[in-house]
Amino acid sequence: MIRTFIKDLKGQVGNSVRLCGWADRIRNQKQLFFIILRDHTGLVQLIHEKKSDQELTDIIISLNRESAIEVEGRVIDNPQVKLGGLEVVISKINITGASAEDIPIKADSALEHRLNWRFLDLRLLENYLIFKTQTVIEQAMREHWLNNGFIEIHSPKLMGSPSESGAELFELDYFGKKAYLAQSPQFYKQMAMAAGFDRVFEIGPVFRAEPSFTARHATEFTSVDIEMSWVNSHEEIMDFEEEWLCYIFQRVESQLSKEMRSLFGRELTIPKRPFPRIPLLEAKEIVEKSGHQLPGDKPDLDPEGERLLAKYVWEKFRHEFVFVTDYPIEIRPFYHMRHNNQPTLTKSFDLLWRGLEITTGAQREHRYDRLLAQAKEKGLTIEGIQYYLDFFRWGCPPHGGFGFGLTRFLMQMVGRKNIREVTYLYRGPNHLRP
Ligand code: AMO
């Protein structure tokens, strides 16, 4: 008999079906057994009358919660059953993977404990929906890129020299030489512009040796990167990102809104264009006016500043997104292009969603002499990055792009407070297993 998914049972009333899943709950009553069966598509009530079949009764007596089972039975209408108004009368049951009696986690176990038993934690249907949402997000991203002339690249994650600054680098022994894990595909996506690929994207892992324990930092995460040629400013990159994000929202809304509402209690609002854009200098004034003193040594917004800015933007524009633009050169990498008329400011931006930074982007400096001067000014060892600087010596078009934290975006999309909850297997300073 072919397998039926629980979500499709409605169309099978009166028929015999084969179901595969986990014994979510088992209720042993005087004359009846009730089993709630779970597969990745939902939950259904199974029922067995004890005296009808002793052999079946014996099997069910031995069944532990969370065992993997295959069941055959007849689907019957029962409006009193809360789970979909139907139930399945068991005719055959096969315990294909018995579960040990003591399940090491409970629904209310602490997050750290649940992460140690991630395979069990992921069995929750809400957790499955997180990764289903991620799948739809990535599919939508790709659709939009393909409709707009992008091609996909896979750049190496083993590098002979750092891709961003020297900090946050994982170093490893590479046949007796030093190698590094890529912190970003930055240099290699720009190489595609020098190669004439025009528009590229990559979804892949990046590594940051940040000894950070916050709810929004991981040492390995999935970065979504794009780079596009023949742009005249960072404004065009922001325009592109807005359009791309709205497309993603529409796809998630049309495919998953019902499930998101019932499992996450979340209503999605498709953001309106244009998204507000505020230069960093002005953003800092807004934050300080609302009574928060920014730390003097770092010319950036701190997390509290980002939260207050989001509050201001919501009150003023009723918008959950804000682009913060024109960062000073001290806090931007050497490859960001500078404003012609204001050479201490870069043509760059961050995108915040409800106060969380999800993107960094910029127009890049593609003029060799200027790029070299900017690298020297930042104190970089030119020898190590000469291969990168060479990209700009034989005809490179003006270009720009962004890096987007997929996990952070997903966190906001599904309304979770911690990056650990939306990462399949989180990697942090204290997390290398499972
Ligand atoms: P940046 O370093 O800002 O920029 O990274 C881009 C985006 O990645 C996410 N992010 C993180 N997510 C989880 N854990 C972390 N430790 C972490 N660090 C960053 C954020 C961030 O906005 N090369 C540039 C991008 C570019 O200019 O194209 C870069 O890597 O969402």
| pLDDT string in tens for the chain (434-residue length) | 999 999 999 999 999 999 999 999 999 999 999 999 999 999 999 999 999 999 999 999 999 999 999 999 999 999 999 999 999 999 999 999 999 999 999 989 999 999 999 999 999 999 999 999 999 999 999 999 999 999 999 999 999 887 666 678 999 999 999 999 999 999 999 999 999 999 999 999 999 998 989 999 999 999 999 999 999 999 999 999 999 999 999 999 999 999 999 898 889 999 999 999 999 999 999 999 998 888 776 689 999 999 999 999 999 999 999 999 999 999 999 999 999 999 999 999 999 999 999 999 999 999 999 999 999 999 998 998 999 999 999 999 999 999 999 999 999 999 999 999 999 999 999 999 99
Q: Give the pTM.
A: 0.95
Q: 433 C-alpha vs ligand 1 centroid, how far in Å? A: 24
Q: Please report the pLDDT score of residue 296 as a whole number.
A: 73
| CB < 8 Å & 24+ apart, contacts of 21-24 | 21/68, 21/69, 21/71, 22/66, 22/67, 22/68, 22/69, 22/123, 23/63, 23/64, 23/65, 23/66, 23/67, 23/69, 23/99, 24/65, 24/66
Q: Please report the pLDDT score of residue 279 as a whole number.
A: 98
Buried b / exposed e along 386-416 (16+ C-beta atoms within 10 A):
eebbebbeeebebbbbbbbbbbbbbbbbbeb
- Closest C-alpha residue for ligand 1 atom 12: 405
Query: Which tokens belong to 345?
Result: 């400011």
- Closest C-alpha residue for ligand 1 atom 27: 361
Ligand 1 atom nearest to CA at 358: 31
Q: Please report the pLDDT score of residue 166 as a whole number.
A: 64
Q: Please report the pLDDT score of residue 255 as a whole number.
A: 96
Q: Which of 184, 234, 331, 363 to mutate to test the pocket of ligand 1 (most atoms within 8 A of CB)?
A: 184
SS3 (DSSP) at 217 = coil
Q: 32 C-alpha vs ligand 1 centroid, how far in Å? A: 55
Q: 219 C-alpha vs ligand 1 centroid, how far in Å? A: 11
Q: 379 C-alpha vs ligand 1 centroid, how far in Å? A: 22
Ligand 1 atom nearest to CA at 223: 8
- Closest C-alpha residue for ligand 1 atom 25: 403
Ligand 1 atom nearest to CA at 184: 30
Q: Please report the pLDDT score of residue 163 as a whole number.
A: 67
Ligand 1 atom nearest to CA at 361: 27
User: Taking CB atoms and a 6 Å cutoff, what residues make up the pocket around ligand 1?
Assistant: 184, 186, 208, 210, 217-218, 221, 223, 225, 357-362, 401-405, 407-408
Q: 403 C-alpha vs ligand 1 centroid, how far in Å? A: 6
- Rounded to 10°, the helix 382-390/368-377 angle is 160
Q: Please report the pLDDT score of residue 107 as a whole number.
A: 81
Q: Please report the pLDDT score of residue 188 as a whole number.
A: 97
Ligand 1 atom nearest to CA at 189: 28
Residue 36 burial (C-beta neighbours within 10 Å; 0-12, 13-18, 19+): middle
Q: Please report the pLDDT score of residue 295 as a whole number.
A: 78
Q: What residue ranges in 32-97 does DSSP mark as E strands?
A: 32-39, 42-49, 68-77, 86-97
